[in-house]
Structure 1
Amino acid sequence: MWAAGSRCRCRLARRLARRYVPSTTEQIHRPPPVSTAREPVERRITSSVSTFSVMREENFALVDKTAQLERIISSHQKVMLCRPPKFGKTLTVTTLASLFRGHKHLFDGTASPDHRPLNIAETAWDWHAETHNVLHFDMAGIARRTGFRANLIDVMGRLGRHMGLGDTVNAASVKGATRDLIEGAARLSPSGKVVVLIDEVDAPVGSALRPLSDAERKVALASNQRVLSDFLEAIDAQESLIRFQFYTGVGLAGYTIQEVHENFQKARYALQHRLKIADELDQHIIDWYGGYAWGDVPEARRLLNPFAVNQLLVRQDFGPHWSSAVGSHMWVYDALRGCDIPDIFEGRIPLQSNAMSPWNLQAQGRGDVNDIRNLLLRLGLLTVKEVELDPKSLMRIGTLGVPNLDVHDYSVRPLIDALYLPSAD
């Protein structure tokens, strides 16, 4: 039985620490030496800009993921990407928006004389055939204000007017508005089809409810779930008119250590020189900001948090860059009360679990233990450390753990301390 108290907190902290500190006997993958030749133009590093077109037009440093995007688009018509906050999801969505709108100049290097072509420019991407009307929804922004249903219908009406549909989008129901918008946008699209991009699809039943009281949250959750369900069902009903659907929830978006070498040579060298470390720098970066995986991924391909790495290279100092930016996760406290904490943070989870679908998850993680684990995975407080095949069920089972120092010391540890503080009776 897990008993409360300071000794239990220390024991759990030590156990969690062992989950992310690499063994000294492990062979850490190190990239081969790279050329020290300078690029013609030193690109600025940013963690505050997440719009693809702005990053290209303003010549910010950009890790090129377009080859991976092209493979995904070629193989799938509907994709759900669940990643933690500040993990490159919005940049991915806006990259897709520019791609499907046919903004070739942002990809082929012609937007600026200082631009290099992105990888997709080297593929057989058909810019003419793949130009579509794009319906882009930022659900966190739509759900942030009161009245999710009214806001969603209003946004669809404005999208319709912007595309030249006038006031033909049905304002009486979510399903009617969705149908009218997709049919009208497809009719006016060069390809006869549309692309649907939805950023933070689970915000109306998750993050948007955090500021509410328990009573308000219960009412809003039930209402928002119905609206979200109607919206997604209406999209599915128009599948024949949709070229591609992409949803983000809370390896594509993060960096690998190899990509840090390839894209941030000067800033990385400056950090190495400032801290007077050479071979150890990569391991420090991995320990602080790495360890992310959501499946069976080799050590060398586990991801670094891109926001935290950008902050590291700009500030030239290690610290809790991600935890400080996303703020307190203490709202998760209610979901964890009464749970077996070691089992939650060190347990095993079937990777095919339906809980991976964001609209099956109850607000604040209330539900069964796998719902809570999946919430923590999406928030970036957990990662998949190992994957094994269960011999009985033949399902892939993931062993969970805390990904890195930033998360362990500055997000998870305060949660554990709060859960085991003695009650003020």
Structure 2
Amino acid sequence: MKSKLPIGLQNLREMRTQGYVYIDKTAHVARLAEEGKYYFLARPRRFGKSLLVDTLAEAFAGSRELFEGLYLEQHWDWSRKYPVLRFDFGSGVLRFREELDKRIGVQLAEQARQRGLVLEREGIASRFEELVLRLAEATGQPVVLLIDEYDKPILDNLSEPERARAMREGLRNFYSAIKSLDPHLKFVLLTGVSKFSKVSLFSGLNNLKDVTLDPRTATVCGYTHAELINSFADYLDGVDLEEVRRWYNGYNFLGEPVYNPFDILLYLDNREFKPYWFETGTPTFLIEQLRARHIHLPTLEGLWLEEELLGRFDVDSIEPETLLFQTGYLTIQERIWEFDTYRYRLGYPNREVRVSLPRAVLNRYVPDIMAKERTRDRIGHALKQDDPAALEPAFQTFFASIPHNWYRRNNLAGYEGYWASLVYCLFAALGVETRAEEASHQGQVDLVIEYQGRIWLLEFKLAEADDGQRALDQIKTRGYHLRYIGQPVTLIGMDFSREQRNLVGFSWERIEETPTTAQP
């Protein structure tokens, strides 16, 4: 009988007792329990963090029957059972500190009630301490503490900094009790999306080990390609595995790349390539941060960050690039040791994000859905027909559809990168090969479009002259096209006006033959 797909399940007991597919990650559980006590793990949303927490809870609680046939069955001391406290901030959206305090209070009271305890102290931190102490005393065993989505109340309020700070203070009040409880704790794990600084949230908890980018835990959440093939073999008939890999694989935490489980499960259930994960969360705040910092999508592919910036985040110091990485819209492509620090090259993890993020940017800039659809159709037709001249009216109509009041509080029309970013988004949203700022021996061209064996090279200029020739001349003068020997190449120059906020110059030229003596 075919196993069932665990769509939406985060409960180990239900998966193991009702015949759902379960990928054995319990070797990670054994190693974590053996090698340390305090852990922190960050992963993007819907990556299986809650199932990991549930697996740890069942193991420490001594539920041996759930691990039959798994690694942990023979690699765990089942003679001892530990009391487990679980706190979860993943459900709902909290907007006020009072709501957060109430949520914590309810979870404390409920866990005490389940064990026949009545908490007598006042204040959240004090009641938390009381629960741990009385539970350890009653059972004679130290307590296992598991906190899932520890940062969600803050992340949900980043667009309102004062609310986010209030949530941070409320959580810090709760987490501050952990250090003093050390003699009574067996194991501690906090999971979330972002890595907030220890100073802002975990003052004094200096022994919290961050395993987010530890190669040994790179695959603790998510599915490797081998796990996909081995565990879901019954569901893979007729599946193009390379296309599945291109769409959903590619998240890199300094080990073997992994798939987002949410994507895989829904794809195998529906058999349609769609941005399942992306559509469960709208990165509106991120897009606003990119706009406010004049950071445009073409510059994100191949972005380099130092280790300090990659892992640093707080309400009072939000770096959009860091947040894009921590939330899963960018992933690690390469790591090098340079100038006594690690540097990381980031990029989009897969086709899902590469196409969906530009679409989300367009949706934010242009609320007129039909205008976007018409532009998409016209650009797609121009590509299919190899008709670059058709781009000019398509882009002019598109930029005219952006409401003028959108520019009221910014000067983006005065930045060349703004125009380059929107043109990039229009092509990338089609799903065609789109490369920004591709380097050659004499510089870098703004945009490369590759479609059906043909190359379009686009260069942008911010100018008032309405001829587009200046941008085109730069491509030719600097020989950006010479690397594409033997391929059909079209050169396209675009001039944009900061006053008219539109395309005012457009010219193009077909290069029929590229000199064979040119050097790439």
Do they superpose with TM above 0.5? yes
Letter in 1 for 2:6: T
What are the ranges of 5 or more consecutive residues in structure 2 without an aligned counterpart? 194-218, 367-398, 406-520
Where do 1:310-389 residues align within 5 Å? 310-324=265-279, 326-339=280-293, 340-341=295-296, 342-344=298-300, 346-351=302-307, 353=308, 356=311, 360-362=313-315, 367-369=317-319, 372-389=320-337
CA contact (8 A) 2:119 2:127 kept: no
- Distance across 1 between alignment mates of 2:59 and 2:245: 32
Letter in 1 for 2:364: A
Letter in 2 for 1:134: V
Partner SS, residue 98 of structure 1: helix
- 1:424 matched to 2:375: no
Bigger radius of gyration among the two: 2
- Distance across 2 between alignment mates of 1:153 and 1:143: 16
Identify the structure with the greater helix proportion.
Answer: 1
- Distance across 2 between alignment mates of 1:263 and 1:128: 30
Match of 2:167 among 213, 224, 239: 224
Q: Tell me: CA distance 1:350–1:237, structure 2 relative to 1, closer, same or farther (3 Å).
A: farther
Letter in 1 for 2:404: A
CA contact (8 A) 1:140 1:203 kept: yes
CA contact (8 A) 1:89 1:248 kept: yes
Aligned to 2:232: 264
Letter in 2 for 1:322: W
What are the ranges of 5 or more consecutive residues in structure 1 without an aligned counterpart? 1-40, 109-116, 273-280
- Distance across 1 between alignment mates of 2:31 and 2:11: 21
CA contact (8 A) 1:337 1:419 kept: no
Give the structure, 1 or 2, with the largest relative contact order (CA under 8 Å, sep 6 or more).
1
Aligned to 1:10: none
CA contact (8 A) 1:291 1:403 kept: yes
Partner SS, residue 80 of structure 1: strand
Shift of 1:416: 5.8
Shift of 1:157: 2.2
Q: Percent sequence identity over matched residues?
A: 25
What is the CA deviation profile of residues 379-421 of structure 1, one whole-angstrom value per residue up to 9, with x for unaligned ones? 211101111111x22x221111110111121234422663597
Partner SS, residue 81 of structure 1: strand
Aligned to 2:91: 141
Aligned to 1:166: 118
- Distance across 2 between alignment mates of 1:66 and 1:405: 30
Letter in 1 for 2:353: V
- Distance across 2 between alignment mates of 1:62 and 1:145: 36
- Distance across 2 between alignment mates of 1:89 and 1:410: 23
Partner SS, residue 317 of structure 2: coil
Give the superposed CA RMSD: 2.2
Shift of 1:260: 0.9
Letter in 2 for 1:318: F
Q: Tell me: CA distance 1:415–1:76, structure 2 relative to 1, closer, same or farther (3 Å).
A: farther
Identify the structure with the greater strand proportion.
Answer: 2
Aligned to 1:200: 149
CA contact (8 A) 1:329 1:415 kept: no
Partner SS, residue 220 of structure 1: helix
TM-score under structure 1 length normalisation: 0.75
Shift of 1:68: 1.6
Partner SS, residue 40 of structure 2: strand
- Distance across 2 between alignment mates of 1:331 and 1:417: 13
Task: Report how many residues are paired.
Answer: 342
- Distance across 2 between alignment mates of 1:101 and 1:354: 38
What is the CA deviation profile of residues 91-136 of structure 1, one whole-angstrom value per residue up to 9, with x for unaligned ones? 111111111111111112xxxxxxxx1111132x10123x211110
Where do 1:86-97 residues align within 5 Å? 86-97=46-57
- 1:407 matched to 2:353: yes
Q: Tell me: CA distance 1:142–1:167, structure 2 relative to 1, closer, same or farther (3 Å).
A: farther
- 1:102 matched to 2:102: no
TM-score under structure 2 length normalisation: 0.62
Aligned to 2:79: 128
CA contact (8 A) 1:89 1:253 kept: yes
